[in-house]
Each structure stands twice: as C-alpha cells, then as structure tokens.
C-alpha cells in the first residue's frame, strides 16, 4: 500500500520580498514620557509619523536625534484595532517598484499614496493594499517593546 504525503507551506504576504529598499531604521519611543503621553495601547487609531522633519503627533513636530534612522519613506508606528503596536516604512511599494520614492500619508486607518492613490489598511495591523492598484503590503519593520519603550529597528 502506497501513501502520498503532501506538504504545504503557508505564505505570509506581509513578509514577501518588497519593492521598497531596506534602509536603516533606528527609532526609540518612550510611551511613558510626556511627549508621547497620548501614545498608549488604550488609544486606538493612535500613531506617530517619523520623517525628515522629526516626530509628528497632534499637529506638532519634535526634532529627530542624530541617531534616528527613518527608513526609505519615513516610518509610521501605529496601534491597531487589537491594541498592538505595528511599524511600517511609509514608502509605497507600488511606486518604489517603478523607481519612485513616494511616501504615504496617514488618514485615520489608512496610509495613502499621493502618487498612485493606493490605500493601505494600517488600522487592521496588516497594511494590506485596499484598492487593487498595488499587490504588495507596506514593508513591516520589527518592534521590540520593553518597559514602555518601543525600539523600532531594521
């Protein structure tokens, strides 16, 4: 009697090769400090953008330190609907695949590319493309959480 054994491996779309180049990221956010006092897991749809100007929150900007590295298109750190911290490079993968550096902006629960119009669902914690223009997710960046400090490094 012969048996046929078939092995299937899962495919995580978020971790496939990205069109976005992997630029260094080195950001530390202390969620216990007064500067980011609003940035707590209990506050859904709360995020911090980090780009060439600095850290953006509540309409103000705090300067980056010389040690901060912000990836290819800037970084968004977002608390999803489950209260989990997530970080992504804000460069649009669709545009990056065509040789353009087009950073997305955040509008509530979506990262939106001004160049191609794609919307990425960051509110769900996946950053999946929503309009069908792009096939790739935003590039996820690992977060380490220790004693209220978020360390985002790539």
Rounded Cα distance between 5 and 130, Å, is 37
145 lies in a domain? yes
For residue 73, give its domain range.
Answer: 23-153
Mapped onto helix, strand or coil, the DSSP state of residue 54 is strand
3 lies in a domain? no
17 lies in a domain? no
Domain count, the chain: 1
Note the Cα 65 to chain centre separation in Å: 20
4 lies in a domain? no
Asked if 134 and 145 touch (Cβ cutoff 8 Å), the reply is no
Cβ contacts of 80 within 8 Å, gap of 6 or more: 44, 86, 122, 123, 124, 125
88 lies in a domain? yes
pLDDT (tens place) for every residue of the chain, 154 residues total = 454 444 433 444 444 579 999 999 999 988 887 666 556 656 667 888 899 988 887 778 888 888 899 999 999 999 888 888 999 999 999 999 999 999 999 988 899 999 999 999 999 999 999 999 999 999 999 999 999 899 999 9
This prediction has a pTM of 0.84
pLDDT of residue 133: 94
CATH number at residue 134: 2.102.10.10
**Bridging pattern class, strands 69-70 and 85-89:** unpaired
Note the Cα 62 to chain centre separation in Å: 19
Neighbours of 9 (CB within 10 A): 4
pLDDT of residue 61: 87
45 lies in a domain? yes
């Amino acid at each position: 009697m012969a048996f046929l054994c078939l092995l299937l491996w899962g495919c995580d779309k978020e971790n496939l090769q990205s069109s976005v180049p992997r630029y260094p990221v080195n950001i530390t956010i202390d969620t216990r400090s007064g500067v980011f006092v609003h940035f707590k897991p209990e506050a859904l749809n709360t995020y911090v953008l980090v780009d060439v100007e600095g850290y953006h929150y509540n309409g103000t900007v705090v300067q980056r330190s010389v040690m901060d590295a912000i990836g290819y298109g800037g970084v968004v750190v977002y608390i999803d609907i489950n209260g989990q911290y997530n970080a992504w490079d804000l460069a649009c993968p669709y545009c990056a695949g065509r040789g353009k550096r087009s950073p997305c902006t955040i509008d509530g629960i979506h990262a939106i590319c001004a160049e191609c119009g794609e919307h990425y669902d960051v509110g769900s914690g996946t950053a999946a493309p929503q309009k069908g223009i792009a096939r790739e997710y935003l590039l996820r960046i690992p977060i380490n959480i220790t004693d209220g400090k978020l360390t985002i490094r790539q």
